[in-house]
Structures are given as structure tokens and as C-alpha cells.
């Protein structure tokens, strides 16, 4: 509805203004800049002033397009999950059964989580706009697609809702832990100092942790995701449709 990406063709680079003020500002450009900023520097480093700097503009100019820092972050969340629209492996309607449909959707969400590990915690923990917009599927479009797909596959209302709940909490738990390992953070500003590992001293009174330390550090996220997703789908398949109150 709101015009998207065409209004930069007027008197492009008239010729006498210094080459500083580049292409025109826009909400899209701002959100994109914010996302890559977080990808690179982490959320705590994102500042209205520094974001402006990155766009060759004073911070105050941003307010014409985004309303404030909070709204900016909401925009980032929305935009990041909407990247799934460009993912050809994610289909909008089941063609090979609901299991394949959900499988593709789950992997799509996982791909966006992994490509923006520092943004994903935001997707996970930003206050939801409504109870039916559960993270990480924070977009009416995607929830609609989810419910519509299952409905077309013969799920009744209760079963669709149950599947939605199970699907979202599955994704949230797995992906949040996976990006955490790949180095997310929503807290400190320092990219460095590598999270001072508890060393020998602290591990002495914890023999089991010490023994299993390296096993616990191995990253099997990919296979675990696959296997757990499989089991989730089985669980959904076996879900009774009525809640029998």
C-alpha cells in the first residue's frame, strides 16, 4: 500500500552540492541500515545518532520516518521475518502435505535466525502486539499462512491452534539457543573479551560439568533441529482435535 522503493529518480546528483548527502532517506533504507548495524555491532551499539551517522544524516532526520527508537526496533523485527518472502523454499500453501509445508516453514525461520543471529533475540523477546502473534512468527501474514495451510490440509480449528502453539514454542526454544551459541547478545556493548569462561577453580566443585564440558560444547544444532522437528511433526499428527473440556 504505502509506496515502496521508487522516488529516487528526480534530479539525481544535480552536480553542485557536495557528494555528501547521497540518495534520499526512506523508512526502508533506515530499517536496512539498522539491521546491518545490529548484525555487525550488536543491538546495544545501535543508537539513533550512530544510525544517522551511518546514513550520512543527523539523528534528528530519522524521526521523520520512524517515530522513535522503539518503533525502529519493531520495524526491524517485522522486516527481518519478512525476508522469508524471498525464500523460495518456503511455500505459502501446502503442495506435498502439511508435514512438508511445516518443514519448509521451520527451515525458513531457522535460516533468517541464523543469518541475523544478533537480531533474533529481538524477534524472540520484543513485546507481542497480540496474543495470536507469538514469536518467532511475528507477522500476521505468516500466521495467516500457517493457519490457512493447515486448514486446507484438513486440520480443524482446535488442531490448527494447537499446532501453532507447539510449532512456535519449538522454534523459539531451539533457535534462540542456537543463535546464542553462534554469539548473540542483547546486553553488553563490548564485542570483545569473549565471555570470560569459568575456569578450573569454578569447575572444581562441579565434576559432572567438568567431565562433560567438551561434549556440552559441541554444536549439534543442525541435526538436533532436524530430529526434534521430526518429532514435533509426529506429535502434531497425533494431536486430538478436541480439547475435551
Partner DNA sequence: ACCTGAACACCGTTCAAGT
Which partner, DNA, its own copies, none, binds residue 61 by CB below 5 to 8 Å per kind? DNA
Q: Is 13 in the site for its own copies (CB under 8 A)?
A: no
222 in Cβ contact with 178 (< 8 Å): no
| Cα→Cα distances 86→108, 111, 148, Å | 10, 12, 20
42 in Cβ contact with 191 (< 8 Å): yes
Q: Name residue, grid cell 566443585.
A: 205
Give residues in contact with DNA (CB under 7 A).
21, 24-25, 46-50, 52, 57-61, 63-64, 68-70
123 in Cβ contact with 136 (< 8 Å): yes
Measured in residues, the chain has a length of 245
State the minimum distance, in angstroms, from the CB of residue 41 to its own copies. Answer: 14
Q: Is 165 in the site for its own copies (CB under 8 A)?
A: yes
Q: Is 41 in the site for its own copies (CB under 8 A)?
A: no
CA atoms in the 13 A half-sphere facing the CB of 8: 12
CA–CA separation, 35 vs 120, rounded Å? 11
Other CB atoms closer than 10 Å to residue 2's CB: what's the count?
A: 4
Q: Is 187 in the site for its own copies (CB under 8 A)?
A: yes
State the minimum distance, in angstroms, from the CB of residue 133 to DNA. Answer: 22
List helix spans (H) across the chain: 27-41, 48-54, 59-66, 69-82, 97-115, 120-125, 140-152, 157-181, 200-203, 207-217, 221-237
State the minimum distance, in angstroms, from the CB of residue 51 to its own copies. Answer: 17
Which partner, DNA, its own copies, none, binds residue 113 by CB below 5 to 8 Å per kind? none
- With CB under 8 A as the contact rule, the residue among 173, 222, 237, 241 that binds its own copies is 173
State the minimum distance, in angstroms, from the CB of residue 22 to its own copies. Answer: 30
CA–CA separation, 22 vs 33, rounded Å? 14
Which of 58-66, 78-86, 100-108, 135-143 is the region at the interface with its own copies (rule: CB under 8 A)? Answer: 135-143
What residues line the site for its own copies (CB under 8 A)?
70, 73, 121, 124-132, 134-135, 140-141, 143-144, 147-148, 151, 157-158, 160-161, 164-166, 168-174, 176-177, 180-181, 183-188, 195-198, 202-203, 205-209, 211-213, 215-217, 219-220, 224, 228, 231, 235, 243
Amino acid at each position: 500500500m504505502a509506496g515502496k522503493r521508487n522516488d529516487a529518480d528526480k534530479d539525481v546528483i544535480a552536480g553542485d552540492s557536495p557528494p555528501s548527502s547521497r540518495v534520499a532517506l526512506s523508512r526502508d533504507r533506515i530499517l536496512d541500515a539498522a539491521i546491518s548495524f545490529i548484525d555487525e555491532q550488536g543491538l546495544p551499539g545501535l543508537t539513533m545518532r550512530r544510525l544517522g551517522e551511518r546514513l550520512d544524516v543527523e539523528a534528528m532526520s530519522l524521526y521523520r520516518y520512524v517515530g522513535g527508537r522503539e518503533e525502529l526496533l519493531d520495524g526491524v523485527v517485522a522486516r527481518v521475518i519478512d525476508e522469508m518472502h524471498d525464500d523460495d523454499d518456503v511455500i505459502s500453501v501446502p503442495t506435498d502435505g502439511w508435514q512438508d509445508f511445516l518443514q519448509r516453514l521451520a527451515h525458513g525461520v531457522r535460516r533468517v535466525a541464523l543469518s541475523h543471529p544478533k537480531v533474533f533475540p529481538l524477534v524472540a523477546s520484543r513485546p507481542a502486539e497480540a496474543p495470536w502473534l507469538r514469536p518467532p512468527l511475528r507477522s500476521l501474514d505468516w500466521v495467516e499462512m500457517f493457519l490457512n495451510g493447515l486448514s486446507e490440509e484438513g486440520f480443524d480449528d482446535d488442531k490448527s491452534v494447537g499446532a501453532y502453539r507447539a510449532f512456535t514454542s519449538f522454534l523459539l526454544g531451539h533457535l534462540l539457543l542456537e543463535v546464542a551459541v553462534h554469539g548473540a547478545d542483547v546486553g553488553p556493548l563490548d564485542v570483545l573479551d569473549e565471555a570470560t569462561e569459568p575456569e578450573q577453580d569454578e569447575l572444581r566443585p562441579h565434576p559432572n560439568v567438568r567431565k562433560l564440558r567438551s561434549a556440552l560444547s559441541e554444536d549439534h544444532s543442525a541435526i538436533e533441529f532436524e530430529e526434534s522437528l521430526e518429532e514435533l511433526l509426529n506429535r502434531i499428527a497425533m494431536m486430538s482435535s478436541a480439547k475435551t473440556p
